């Protein structure tokens, strides 16, 4: 049987970065095994539905580079792929379980259920659940006659459909990550499968859709592990073959103590969503990795290593290389610490590997590029790409290129601005004014060396003063390339301003 996996998010808000990792692992596994990647939108909880969330999911997956073979936004033979549009079908399967004695109608009101739980808590019960014991004291088709049940349904009384757990069995299944998992059915409660509004719960819709869509492997987060025994039991109740399960480790706080949350990200000063998100109700904006300047390659590489490793020393992978190296068997059981410092390191590596043309295109697409020529922007990218972590820093760290200094670094003025510096820079200005060739980094350096030699001063001794005069600071990127970008006339203007403005020593 060919591999078929699915990513099935709920449109309840922005996609968490942990969800992106789940999607990525599904995608890598599908591509490695020549299989298909499906996208299904699980929107059965209409109370939590958030407008715009579905489009956000589609855009986020596209940005990361996850190609959907079948599903929402693509189509396919099992459409529709939005669960709310499959609503009527689920009732058929719920009633199939009822007919087989594996589920039942329950007419209990919210007040009756709360009273039952309160009684159990007061009696010191281990769990206040609607289960094999308590269901016999409640209002359902197990305690009512067939006639009463039909009359209630005919009257339009609200009801849910609950699974009927047989408490006398062990449920065992082998998880690809966790190995064997065993749970006694007596610990499970009779979960609701079909809600009073006719919508299925996750438990029913997920099982039915995975079966009908031919899903062979369910790769999902560890938070779903407690539900897995119920799902395995439901496959048995339907008489269907269950897919193989792989439950992924949690993403932990940067300190490693507890599950990563948005609050942790806010406190740590980093995003937790792939793309920026504006809440449609409050209009508050949550940061996104893309808008913060993380590259697509960075996110793929970083997320791949959060819970998996290739078993080699290689750290930088293309998507194709990850597909080749990936296996579910190399996923860790333990939680993965969300080390944002490592993400920044990945970003630095991928920035360095970008061509000047690629970086310029990123800056131009961001609409933050300065009003300079494309050739100048290419030079700025070349100047800065090995000195920054994020593309936008190429511009923020080069403000000196676009604004003449109005202040000068005091410590450098005090230590490096002296008579020799003034003498050498004055000579440099004189030589620049009579130079008529192309003003490139090499020529800027040659003229500077000749001017310093002409006045008998070692070039290296006054180099920091020259940088101070040009940029206002004592440290920065390659000075000669900086001057090439500025152009001869601007360099002369800045040098003359420094000579007239700074102390005459």
- The CA distance from 254 to 264, in Å, is 8
Average pLDDT of the residues in 13-38 = 97
Q: Is the pLDDT of residue 371 over 90?
A: no
3-state secondary structure of 71: strand
Tokens encoding 94: 């719920």
> pTM (2 decimals)?
0.91
Cβ-based neighbours of 473, under 8 Å, separated by 6 or more: 400, 409, 412, 467
CB 422, CB 495: distance < 8 Å: no
Q: Name residue, tokens 């079948």.
A: 70
Q: Considering only CA atoms, which of 102, 420, 73 is closest in space to residue 236?
A: 102
3-state secondary structure of 288: strand
User: First vs last Cα of the chain: how many Å apart?
Assistant: 84
Q: Residue 373 has what pLDDT?
A: 84
CA torsion, ordered 8, 251, 229, 208, to nearest 10 deg: 0
Q: Residue 256 has what pLDDT?
A: 87
Q: Is the pLDDT of residue 367 over 80?
A: no
Backbone dihedral angles phi then psi of residue 386, each to the nearest 5 degrees = -95, 5
What is the residue-averaged pLDDT of the chain?
Answer: 95
Q: Residue 45 has what pLDDT?
A: 85
Average pLDDT of the residues in 327-354 = 96
- 262 catalytic? Reply is yes
Catalytic member of 262, 333, 357, 433 = 262
pLDDT tens sequence across 395-450: 889 989 989 999 999 999 999 999 999 999 999 999 999 999 999 999 999 999 99
- The CA distance from 14 to 20, in Å, is 11
CA distances from 383 to 293, 360, 373, 386 (A): 18, 12, 15, 8
pLDDT tens sequence across 56-66: 999 999 999 99
Query: In the structure, what pLDDT confidence band is assigned to residue 229 with cuts at 50, 70 and 90?
Result: very high
3-state secondary structure of 497: helix
Q: Is the pLDDT of residue 368 over 80?
A: no
Query: In the structure, what pLDDT confidence band is assigned to residue 156 with cuts at 50, 70 and 90?
Result: very high
Residue 331 DSSP class: B
Tokens encoding 284: 């508050």
pLDDT tens sequence across 65-106: 999 999 999 999 999 999 999 999 999 999 999 999 999 999
- The CA distance from 57 to 275, in Å, is 9
3-state secondary structure of 251: strand
């Amino acid at each position: 049987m060919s591999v078929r996996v699915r990513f099935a998010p709920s449109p309840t808000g922005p996609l968490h970065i942990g969800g992106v990792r789940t999607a990525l692992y599904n995608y890598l596994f599908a591509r490695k095994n020549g299989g298909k990647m499906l996208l299904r939108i699980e929107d059965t909880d209409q109370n939590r539905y958030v407008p715009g969330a579905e489009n956000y999911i589609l855009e986020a997956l596209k940005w990361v580079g996850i190609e959907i073979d079948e599903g929402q936004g693509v189509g396919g033979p099992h459409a529709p792929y939005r669960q709310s549009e499959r609503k009527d079908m689920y009732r058929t399967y719920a009633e199939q379980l009822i007919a087989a004695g594996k589920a039942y109608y329950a007419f209990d009101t919210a007040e009756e259920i709360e009273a039952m739980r309160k009684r159990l808590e007061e009696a010191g019960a281990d769990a206040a659940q609607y289960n094999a014991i308590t269901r016999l004291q409640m209002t359902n088709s197990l305690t009512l006659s067939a006639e009463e049940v039909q009359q209630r349904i005919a009257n339009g009384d609200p009801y849910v459909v609950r699974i009927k757990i047989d408490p006398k069995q062990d449920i065992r299944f082998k998880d690809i990550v966790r190995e064997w998992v065993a749970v006694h059915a007596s610990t499970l409660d009779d979960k609701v499968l079909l809600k009073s509004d006719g919508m299925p719960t996750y438990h029913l819709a997920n099982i039915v859709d995975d079966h009908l869509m031919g899903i062979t492997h369910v790769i999902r987060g560890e938070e779903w592990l407690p539900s897995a025994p119920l799902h395995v039991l439901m496959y048995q109740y339907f008489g269907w073959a269950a897919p193989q399960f792989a439950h992924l480790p949690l993403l932990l706080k940067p300190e490693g103590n507890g599950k990563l949350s948005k609050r942790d990200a806010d406190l740590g000063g980093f995003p937790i969503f792939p793309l920026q998100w504006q809440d449609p109700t409050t209009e508050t904006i949550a940061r996104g990795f893309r808008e913060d300047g993380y590259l697509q390659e960075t996110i793929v590489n970083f997320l791949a290593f959060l819970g998996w490793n290739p078993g080699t020393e290689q750290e930088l992978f293309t998507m194709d290389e990850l597909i080749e190296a990936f296996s579910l068997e190399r996923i860790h059981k333990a939680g993965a610490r969300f080390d944002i410092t490592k993400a920044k390191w990945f970003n630095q590596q991928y920035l360095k590997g970008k061509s000047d043309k690629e970086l310029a295109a990123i800056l131009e697409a961001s609409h933050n590029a300065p009003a300079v020529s494309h050739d100048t922007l290419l030079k700025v990218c070349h100047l800065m790409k090995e000195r920054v972590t994020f593309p936008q820093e190429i511009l923020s760290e080069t403000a000196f290129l676009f604004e003449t200094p109005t202040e000068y670094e005091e410590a450098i003025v005090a230590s490096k601005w002296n008579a020799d510096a003034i003498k050498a820079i004055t000579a440099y200005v004189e030589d620049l004014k009579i130079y008529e060739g192309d003003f490139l980094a090499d020529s800027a350096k040659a003229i500077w060396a000749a001017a310093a030699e002409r006045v008998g001063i070692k070039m290296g001794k006054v180099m920091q003063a020259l940088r101070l005069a040009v940029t206002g600071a004592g440290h920065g990127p390659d000075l000669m390339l900086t001057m090439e970008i500025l152009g001869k006339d601007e360099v002369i203007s800045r040098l003359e301003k420094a000579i007239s403005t700074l102390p005459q020593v």
